[in-house]
Structure 1
Amino acid sequence: MVLRSTLLVICWLFFQPTSSYRILVYSPTVSKSHVISNTRIAETLAKAGHDVVLYLPEYDKESGNIGSTLAKQIKLDVGENKFADLLKFNEEYVFSPSAFGTIKHFLQIPVTLTAICESIALNTKAMDELRSYKFDVAIFEQLDLCGAGIVHLLGIPSRIWLSSQSMMEQMSFFVGVPEPLSYVPASAEADLSDRMTYSQRCQNILIASISLAFHYYMATTTTNMFRRNFGADFPHLDKIAGDSALIFVNSEEFLDFPRPILHKTVYVGGLGLKESKPLDEKYEKLMNIGRKGTVLVSLGSIVKTSGMPMPLKEQLFAAFTHFPDYYFLFKIDKADSVSKELAKGAKNVQVVEWMPQVDLLGHKNMKVFITHGGLNGVMEAAYAGVPMITVGMFADQYRNGRAAERNGYGYSLSKKNLTTESVSTALNTVLDNESYKKNALRISRIMRTKPFRAEDRVVEWTQFLAEFKQLPELEVVGRDMGFIQYFCLDIFVPLLIILILIAFVQIKISLALIHCIYRRYSRAVFKVKPE
């Protein structure tokens, strides 16, 4: 009898029916790193048994070439657009920023992205195909809020707003997440840590305000497009996004700056991180050339090394040759013929157009990772326990580097000060100070052993939302308050005025009393006696 009951329980545990939900992951192909992160989310949910569609509007066709074996992919050719021009300017901007060119470029972004979004929204064939799935949940990226409008048009009841990096200013503002700028660095090109001087706090407030204003302008521009095409009552995109039941943040808590969050915030950073595999013969040989080890150098997929000015390349290669006991593997793009020529004259430098980054970082001879500070690369290095030197190029990369520096396993360099001396100093510091390696190994162990894997968070929260549709219990009233009410200025300002008035009256009374006493004392002292 006991055996029979035990078998029944085991059968129930293993063969109980599970709900399979239809899930849309909206991922515009703005960069390869974004698509990789979003694909991992789609794969994780598909592996859990759900019917997942990875929708890839092709802003940049090259970035969309990411394989997905479980989730169904739907790619949309958005036609001829100027996104390529934005990418081209970005390549130029990272190495030689021009104030006029930067302003002109940023003013062009809302126009370009809105035009692309319009082509997506008006593609009736693709929209009808997506509607036919009758999705239970939609996960959309934070880039330009076009995804919020598309999800609204599709009528998907449950929404998850996804940040492909740390929580950005517009996400915090629209959702109602507190963001004390006194110690939370802005994510938009702020090369700041969480311990700021007075002037740095001023800079942080200015950057965050400009970033928020820019994204609100962009959201309004795209909202107006939706209203032109789908009716004047179309909700503002920041309202659609802000009403999302959950917020997924593709950042690792232990790699980011500590900050306030809401109950609806779910950190999913580290999703899909894998153990390194043995290298093939070619790379294994390269990893064993340096007597003291190997240094890996990569500036990511968006930054093209072919656009790096010649003097800057010469400075970098000169710095590398100052460390003859280490071998440098430098990832370049195909068009970078200059670096190939410079490498011929450097005995300890090898340039490659592709490399198995995860496997290289996991090799025992890897000593330092010189990186642009992209979130994926930072997480891979931290997971492998490799100290890093970061050179932020744009967006959140500065912030990621400063966070690594704060926690003791990273050294942050400014792209404006990349010289042979500065790079050499950074390498000497990280290679000679054992604390960097010690802290890197500590963060690696934390990432590997912390409770609740990112995969479990993604699956279980998504399933939870699919079941309950909406989670109004997690909404904060603060996101609908005005500035004055939110900061209680309507209480503190009148109170301050009253206190000032009381102090003023007390001072006036005190002065009057002092004046009266002084007059009496003067009369008593200087009173003239009659003759």
Structure 2
Amino acid sequence: MLWVNVLSFLAVSHVYCDAAKILVFGTSNSKSHMISAGRIVDVLVKDGHNVTFVNLEVGHSIINFAGVRHLNVVPLGYVTPEEEHEYTEMVAERTKHTFDKETVWRMHDGTARFVESVVQACERALSQNTTTLNQLKSENFDVLITEQLSACGTGLTEVLNIPVHFIISSCALFDPIAKIYGVPTPMGYIPTAMAFSSATDSMSFTQRAQNLIESEVVSNAWMNTYTDTTTLFRKYYGNNFPDVRDIMVNRTPFLFVAVDDLIEFPRPWPPNVIRVGGLGIDFAHAADGLQLSEPCASEMTKGEKGVVFFSMGSAANTAGFPEIAKRNLFETMKNFSDYHFIIKVDKSDDFSRELLKDAPNVFITTWAPQPLLLRHPRLKLFITHGGYNSILEVANCGKPLILLPMMYDQTRNAGVVERNGWGKYVNKQTLLKSNKEFKQALTELLENESYTIAAKRIQKLLQTKPFTANEVFIKHINFAIANNGQLPELMPVANKLNLIQQHSLDVYAVISGVVAVIVLIFVKICFKLAQLFLQKLSGKDKCE
């Protein structure tokens, strides 16, 4: 039925004379990533392109997911309800360990397990969806756009004979992808994408060493996704199948990164790397015509000094948080009696509900209309996990943040916000000891007006920047299509150079050697002259 819908849609949309046939490839391992992929589809369809959305099912099934509005979805590697339940249980179990002390080896193992799960999903698609893949190939797509989380989409570019390939990184650019495309990543002041110890662009020696180690360890684990995916496609399509990294480089005129330059560490970008943070989201009109319903409407009127909203997103289940951490969080909030707190927890989080049931300044809920709450004039502060979409959303509302990163790129995101003065990063580990750091941050954010002023500034910057993410994305897509996806003029050669060549270490070594030889010769000459002078002086003394 889904495939019939796709074919019907493609037939109707041929009325667009300049429309390209575009295949958008996403994965369902994260609800936020499914939503992001759906937004890409919506932007392309709105511009008049013929779009098919192919989703590699990893953990979640896309079929009944309400977060994707696009009706023309082709699932690959179907996830059964039983498998989805197991995946949900696994995520809940993983949350119990989010407060464990992070190490590079733990990060390496987590990355390796994720890569393995995505490659396994890709193999299921290749082995079980042959008919669907043949139907897709017969459509003769012009373009394939894939997220960075799976190289399966890149491999399908070759299988389906699609000439133009784009990658969109749904978060800060992964270091291994930066290496493949030759994107400069000075580790002395650019925090690695999956930083977990700290994230700042003003690093001490120890921080620079930690940053470099974290980058190399995670990159090592992530590179397996390209090696293993290439091996997988060669298993099904022969040993001559190209390395997916070669497909990435040779068929990709633009690499899109879903960050906004105003909410990112300033760094060098080549001309073929385009930033599109907020793609598919119309922040200015997201809440047009919508009003808060009860009980949230009444809750927003409470609190003498205003309202604080607490939400940890969908990836981290609060039921799995250590009880001591939740006690330090929520007991602290109860003591700020001049403010009303709206606290979103998971359905199974009975401990938090029991802890807060008698708190007069707390409303606890399992769901909240986040966009409407963030826009409300009485909202004074947002306490969040630091997912990039949430940060973009609150930035467009001009509200300050307390950030409690749980996993992935969230520590880095928190560092960006803290760098620019409109939020405060609190290490989750401190909540296992006391409420001291969280209480200090809460007091400072609520009493120090500078954070609100900085938040209003970032809001104005975002509202007045020259081009929206949608405009930038569509113009670059259409430009590349108009030129057959061939833009070698924009491709840096850095990805073809080794570390020594990129940084001219051999040149520095030769120059250092020449300087050392000159200095050595100079020292020897000086030493020789000194000897001659002393000998002459000694001979003169003897004559006297």
Residue 409 of structure 2, aligned match among 354, 375, 396: 396
- Relative to 1, partners in 2 of residues 1:58 and 1:85: Cα closer, same or farther, differing over 3 Å? same
Partner of residue 12, structure 1: none
Aligned partner of residue 223 in structure 2, secondary structure = helix
Write out per-residue CA displacement over residues 334-372 of structure 1, whole angstroms, 9 at most, x where no aligned residue.
Answer: 111111111103221222111110011000111100001
Offset, 1:452:
1.2
Aligned partner letter, 2:204: T
Partner of residue 60, structure 2: 61
- Relative to 1, partners in 2 of residues 1:20 and 1:220: Cα closer, same or farther, differing over 3 Å? same
For 1:43 and 1:237, the matched residues in 2 are separated by 27
Within a 5 Å distance, the mapping from 1:63-212 to structure 2 comes to: 65-70=65-70, 72-79=72-79, 87-88=91-92, 90-97=94-101, 104-122=109-127, 123-190=129-196, 191-212=198-219
Partner of residue 531, structure 2: 515
**Once superposed, what is the RMSD of the aligned Cα atoms?**
2.2
Write out per-residue CA displacement over residues 273-311 of structure 1, whole angstroms, 9 at most, x where no aligned residue.
Answer: 333332113211011111111111111101000100111
Aligned partner of residue 323 in structure 1, secondary structure = coil
TM-score w.r.t. the length of structure 1 is 0.91
* Contact kept? 1:32, 1:63, Cα under 8 Å: no
Write out per-residue CA displacement over residues 79-123 of structure 1, whole angstroms, 9 at most, x where no aligned residue.
Answer: 477866863564233122476766554443333322221112332
* Contact kept? 1:51, 1:71, Cα under 8 Å: no
Residue 240 of structure 1, aligned match among 235, 247, 265: 247
Partner of residue 228, structure 2: 221
Aligned partner of residue 254 in structure 1, secondary structure = helix
Write out per-residue CA displacement over residues 407-430 of structure 1, whole angstroms, 9 at most, x where no aligned residue.
Answer: 111111111112322111111111
Partner of residue 7, structure 1: none
Structure exhibiting the larger radius of gyration computed from Cα positions: 1
* Contact kept? 1:383, 1:443, Cα under 8 Å: yes
Partner of residue 482, structure 1: 498
Within a 5 Å distance, the mapping from 1:312-327 to structure 2 comes to: 312-327=325-340
Within a 5 Å distance, the mapping from 1:213-362 to structure 2 comes to: 213-243=220-250, 244-271=252-279, 272-274=281-283, 275-276=286-287, 277-362=290-375
For 1:138 and 1:333, the matched residues in 2 are separated by 37
Partner of residue 10, structure 1: none
Aligned partner letter, 2:278: G
- Relative to 1, partners in 2 of residues 1:103 and 1:490: Cα closer, same or farther, differing over 3 Å? closer
Which deviates the most, 172-181 or 495-504?
A: 495-504
Offset, 1:229:
2.3
Offset, 1:146:
2.1
Partner of residue 463, structure 1: 478
Partner of residue 488, structure 2: 472
Consecutive unaligned residues of structure 2, counting only runs of 5 or more, are 1-14
Consecutive unaligned residues of structure 1, counting only runs of 5 or more, are 1-15
Offset, 1:211:
2.2
Write out per-residue CA displacement over residues 245-275 of structure 1, whole angstroms, 9 at most, x where no aligned residue.
Answer: 1111111110111111111122111221333
Offset, 1:18:
4.2
Aligned partner letter, 1:258: P
Aligned partner of residue 326 in structure 2, secondary structure = helix
- Relative to 1, partners in 2 of residues 1:489 and 1:261: Cα closer, same or farther, differing over 3 Å? same
For 1:182 and 1:105, the matched residues in 2 are separated by 25
Structure 1 residue 439 and structure 2 residue 438: aligned? Answer: no
* Contact kept? 1:83, 1:112, Cα under 8 Å: no
* Contact kept? 1:300, 1:372, Cα under 8 Å: yes
Offset, 1:503:
1.3
Aligned partner of residue 267 in structure 2, secondary structure = coil
- Relative to 1, partners in 2 of residues 1:427 and 1:383: Cα closer, same or farther, differing over 3 Å? same
Write out per-residue CA displacement over residues 127-174 of structure 1, whole angstroms, 9 at most, x where no aligned residue.
Answer: 123223221111100113222112222111111111001222122111
Write out per-residue CA displacement over residues 384-417 of structure 1, whole angstroms, 9 at most, x where no aligned residue.
Answer: 1110111111121111111111111111111111
* Contact kept? 2:23, 2:145, Cα under 8 Å: yes
Offset, 1:490:
2.8
- Relative to 1, partners in 2 of residues 1:52 and 1:431: Cα closer, same or farther, differing over 3 Å? same
Structure 1 residue 450 and structure 2 residue 465: aligned? Answer: yes
- Relative to 1, partners in 2 of residues 1:311 and 1:480: Cα closer, same or farther, differing over 3 Å? same
Aligned partner letter, 1:132: S
Aligned partner of residue 401 in structure 1, secondary structure = helix
- Relative to 1, partners in 2 of residues 1:432 and 1:486: Cα closer, same or farther, differing over 3 Å? same
Aligned residues: 513
- Relative to 1, partners in 2 of residues 1:17 and 1:377: Cα closer, same or farther, differing over 3 Å? closer
For 2:113 and 2:93, the matched residues in 1 are separated by 11
Residue 445 of structure 2, aligned match among 430, 445, 448: 430
Partner of residue 8, structure 1: none
- Relative to 1, partners in 2 of residues 1:17 and 1:422: Cα closer, same or farther, differing over 3 Å? closer
For 2:163 and 2:71, the matched residues in 1 are separated by 21
Q: Percent identity?
A: 32
For 1:110 and 1:73, the matched residues in 2 are separated by 24
* Contact kept? 1:184, 1:194, Cα under 8 Å: yes
* Contact kept? 1:53, 1:71, Cα under 8 Å: no
- Relative to 1, partners in 2 of residues 1:241 and 1:361: Cα closer, same or farther, differing over 3 Å? same
- Relative to 1, partners in 2 of residues 1:79 and 1:279: Cα closer, same or farther, differing over 3 Å? closer
For 1:197 and 1:69, the matched residues in 2 are separated by 46
For 2:147 and 2:414, the matched residues in 1 are separated by 23
* Contact kept? 2:55, 2:62, Cα under 8 Å: no
